[in-house]
Structure 1
Amino acid sequence: ETVQRSHAVMKELGCEGSAHQIMDCLRPIDTETILSTAFRVHGTDVASGKGPFGITMAGELFPITNQHELRESKVPVRLMIGTTLNELRNMTSVTKNVNRVLGIVNDEECFEKYTRDVDSGKFDPGYDETSQDIILTAHIFAKYQAEIGGEAYLYEYDYPVHSQHTDDAYFVLGFHQFEMDENEKWMSRVYPRYFSNFIRGERLASDWSPVKPNIMNYYSINRSIAEDNYPHTKFGYQSNLVQYYDNLVKYDNLIVKMKKQVLSAQIAYKSLNFNGDFQDFLESLIMVDAVIFFCFLVGIVCFLCCICKCFTRIVCCCFRSRRECEHDPLIVYQYR
């Protein structure tokens, strides 16, 4: 559906055919013309979900259709992925998307632990859950591709003035909804080059190296003329979040292991059903339970039989002579 919406805009621009043909047709058209056409076709509300999103997801251009496929793929790819300094830091959201990204099995237990740790002050994520989802996604994908031999470039847009989610996209698109300061004017010339260099298969910057999973190096994109600060490499991408969630994954694995031990126990007491009638109870017994229960019943019966036999002889002896009772080995002790 998203590809179809994109094609509607492309048709209006006179660009039709395969994805490659459409992209070639779009190259000489300026950004403002493309955007104005998109707004004319689909309206100006980009948050409505009716915008021209998806043309780059056509199979010819991007052979991976979803995040899961990229995550699980064993084929190394060339990947550029990153986040902004604040993402959605000032927004409030409570989701469990991070658990999904990490592949956590015991969703409820782990989310409860996360909530306890945050409420108690044991863990301060610094971001809402949606932002954590975005950050962990970037970390996991970049690290995974680096581990299987892919060429992954990880970055963080660190300029603090405008660093909310997608604020950096304005530099790539070439237009801005805010007045740029001197630092941002410099960024508007440099930032798009990183992406164009990546698309052309060239090195993104002279000092920007692919990710090494053991140090998780990333490119901090920031500029401060006053402090003479330029974009440069940093290490340990979002280490606070990464370390916490590494431990949360271990916690999840421990729960999985404990549940397996309970399920594989020799006597599964949880299988006993005391809420139904006696027949339901018997049907709920497993073999080991049945043997133990049978032995218990036999022992009770034998004990009751012995008690009854002794009691019967003592009572009978009351109606017999002392001499007759003295010859009864079961009660002779009573007279002595």
Structure 2
Amino acid sequence: MKKLLFILLNLLFVFECSIIKTSFGRIEGNEVGNFRSFKKIPFAKSPLGKLRFQKPETPDKWDDVLNAKEYGPACMSNSSSTTSPQKWVDEDCLHVNIFTSQKCLMSKNCPVVFYIHGGEMYYDSAVMFNDTILFDTFAKRDIVLVIPAFRLGIFSHFSVYDQSIAPNNLGMFDILHALEFTKSEIHNFGGDIKQTTVFGHSYGGHIVSMLQFSTKINMDLSLFQRAVSMSTAFYFNTLEAEIEKTNRFAEHSNCSVPSALAKKLSRNQQDTYIMECLQKIDGMELLRIQRSLEDAGFPLYDGLIVREPLIQEVPIAQLFDNPKNIPSLTGCTFAELDVYMAYHDVVGTLGFENYEECDEKFRTEKKDKDFELKNRADETMAILVQTKRRVGKLLDKNITTYLYEYSYPKHATHTDDLSYLMGVHLFEKDENEVKLAQFYQEIFTNFVKYGEPGEGFERTNAENSSYFNINWNETSGERPEMKNEYESEVTLDN
């Protein structure tokens, strides 16, 4: 009888783990062994019609059990700049996908990772990852993983001067709304909001940095308490440039204000006219126009706008002066974007006042045959320099910081090491990379759980610019170890 009762209670728990209650209604997810996934959970109303180009709004409650077994669509994207096109896109995309374990659902106190995807707020998505590797990296170690979607391209970058018409940095508002949803609901999935790490790669790492360094966001540390940014490339655009791109988009959408009418309307009235016109056009048609503009040499992605209420309005060089006092793990791969060797405005991303002088010096030295970094791509240089600058700002405030560089030569470009954690851009691993994948999972999840990565990975310090060199060679016996003088050839002199 006792054995039968135990079996019945266990079956009841499994059922309750697959169907859970939230403040908005019940959700039924997938059961994979001791792991659970819950997908396509709305954290905001569908941004359609008059909600297009507006801040996200809290979703309505639902009465029936929400089917959360399958992924929803990716947010709207269609770019020639990416090798990871999305299979299904739709404007109704403001969902979170949550991965957890049976143990977390029982204990309700597991650490939380809030992962922000890259793609320059123009492509990639919250539905592009490999479930098996996500379970293996996070749920197996009793970490609750949250992957939110956010609007991209014109749906995020529509910009006007008066933010009462349409707010700037809409994608950031989506991310913050998803963080608030996580704060409110993650305990239902076994997570502890007081143990939350924001985690991002590439431009997702830039967003993490802005969340970390903004003096307007999370000042009470109630949304997150740790930060991880991998291979972080950041850049901003001016409001004026974004408005110009919006107006160009309106022109190609036949939504420009007729000249005769423009004489009678104020600036705000003209902006409202454009917005309301674009709100009436089918989203797929807007996406077609966006792709045609990109292919004609007029892409829409140029980064966030340095503007309140989310980002303090200071010169770019001062944006990172006041980080929050939370532990940080950051670094990059050795080769990053060297394979492309494309032009990138390295100096412009740093906000130097003497821009022309610095840029001329950089270009001249890169042509010099003796310049040690002449074979490094501009974008790689930008990532290295920006990483050094952010780490320096953190160390200036005595904030716990862990700095790494991935240097295994076979695969050391921009997304290679991310594949170990998230299962994107996969490749066949050799015996060393099998070990590196396991090692990566350990150090990153240790940081999420304990605030330190362990495995010999020590805090960096300003005196010798120490960092953790991640390499593995079964033949020579080489293993990850602490080294000094991180990218010493790269300087921040201006």
TM-score, structure 2 as length reference = 0.40
Q: Comparing both structures, which one devotes a greater share of its residues to helix?
A: 1
State yes or no: 1:172 paired with 2:265.
Answer: no
Equivalent residue runs for 1:257-276 within 5 Å: none
The alpha-carbon deviation at position 29 of structure 1 amounts to 3.5
Q: Secondary structure at the match of 1:186?
A: helix
State yes or no: 1:233 paired with 2:482.
Answer: yes
The alpha-carbon deviation at position 142 of structure 1 amounts to 1.5
- Matches of 1:159 and 1:173 in 2, distance apart? 18
Q: 1:229 to 1:116 in 2, by over 3 A?
A: same
Q: Return 5+ residue gaps in structure 2 as ranges.
A: 1-18, 42-68, 78-83, 87-118, 128-146, 150-174, 181-195, 199-207, 215-318
The alpha-carbon deviation at position 15 of structure 1 amounts to 9.7
- The structure with the largest alpha-carbon Rg is 1
State yes or no: 1:45 paired with 2:85.
Answer: yes
Q: 1:91 to 1:68 in 2, by over 3 A?
A: farther
The equivalent of 2:362 in structure 1 is 114
Segment of structure 1 superposing worse, 47-56 or 139-148: 47-56
CA-to-aligned-CA distance 1:138-157 (integer Å, 9 cap, x gap):
11112221221101100011
CA-to-aligned-CA distance 1:226-264 (integer Å, 9 cap, x gap):
01011101110000012xx32xx1xxxxxxxxxxxxxxx
- Matches of 1:38 and 1:177 in 2, distance apart? 20
The equivalent of 1:215 in structure 2 is 464
Q: 1:94 to 1:64 in 2, by over 3 A?
A: closer
Equivalent residue runs for 1:1-336 within 5 Å: 28-29=35-36, 37-38=70-71, 41=74, 45=85, 49=123, 51-52=125-126, 55=148, 57-58=175-176, 59-60=179-180, 62=198, 65-66=210-211, 69=214, 71-101=320-350, 103-125=351-373, 126-174=375-423, 177-242=426-491, 245-246=492-493, 249=494
Segment of structure 1 superposing worse, 87-96 or 173-182: 173-182
- Matches of 1:31 and 1:135 in 2, distance apart? 37
Q: 1:155 to 1:37 in 2, by over 3 A?
A: farther
1:72 aligned partner, one-letter code: D
1:85 aligned partner, one-letter code: F
Q: Secondary structure at the match of 2:468?
A: strand
Q: Secondary structure at the match of 1:142?
A: helix
CA-to-aligned-CA distance 1:42-74 (integer Å, 9 cap, x gap):
586156615129739534555864576372225
Q: Comparing both structures, which one devotes a greater share of its residues to strand?
A: 2
Q: Secondary structure at the match of 2:363?
A: helix
- Matches of 1:17 and 1:234 in 2, distance apart? 49
Q: 1:45 to 1:14 in 2, by over 3 A?
A: farther
The alpha-carbon deviation at position 124 of structure 1 amounts to 3.2
Q: 1:117 to 1:175 in 2, by over 3 A?
A: closer
Q: Secondary structure at the match of 1:124?
A: coil
Is the 1:78–1:151 Cα contact (8 Å) retained in structure 2?
Answer: yes
2:403 aligned partner, one-letter code: L
Q: Secondary structure at the match of 1:81?
A: strand
Is the 2:321–2:393 Cα contact (8 Å) retained in structure 1?
Answer: no
- Matches of 1:192 and 1:37 in 2, distance apart? 26
- Matches of 1:200 and 1:97 in 2, distance apart? 35
Q: Secondary structure at the match of 2:450?
A: coil
The alpha-carbon deviation at position 120 of structure 1 amounts to 3.0
Is the 2:329–2:402 Cα contact (8 Å) retained in structure 1?
Answer: yes
CA-to-aligned-CA distance 1:57-94 (integer Å, 9 cap, x gap):
53455586457637222532211101101101121222
Segment of structure 1 superposing worse, 82-91 or 140-149: 140-149
1:45 aligned partner, one-letter code: P
Q: 1:175 to 1:110 in 2, by over 3 A?
A: closer
CA-to-aligned-CA distance 1:13-65 (integer Å, 9 cap, x gap):
999769xx9xxx9994469999x955855586156615129739534555864
The alpha-carbon deviation at position 122 of structure 1 amounts to 4.9
Q: 1:32 to 1:166 in 2, by over 3 A?
A: farther
1:108 aligned partner, one-letter code: E
- Matches of 1:208 and 1:196 in 2, distance apart? 13
The alpha-carbon deviation at position 176 of structure 1 amounts to 6.2
2:126 aligned partner, one-letter code: P
- Matches of 1:67 and 1:109 in 2, distance apart? 31
Q: Secondary structure at the match of 2:366?
A: helix
Question: In the comparison of the two structures, how many residue pairs are matched?
Answer: 226
Q: Secondary structure at the match of 1:72?
A: coil
- Matches of 2:435 and 2:371 in 1, distance apart? 37
- Matches of 2:343 and 2:363 in 1, distance apart? 10
Q: Return 5+ residue gaps in structure 1 as ranges.
A: 1-12, 250-336
1:162 aligned partner, one-letter code: H
- Matches of 2:364 and 2:450 in 1, distance apart? 46
Is the 1:143–1:216 Cα contact (8 Å) retained in structure 2?
Answer: no
The alpha-carbon deviation at position 115 of structure 1 amounts to 1.3
The equivalent of 1:321 in structure 2 is none
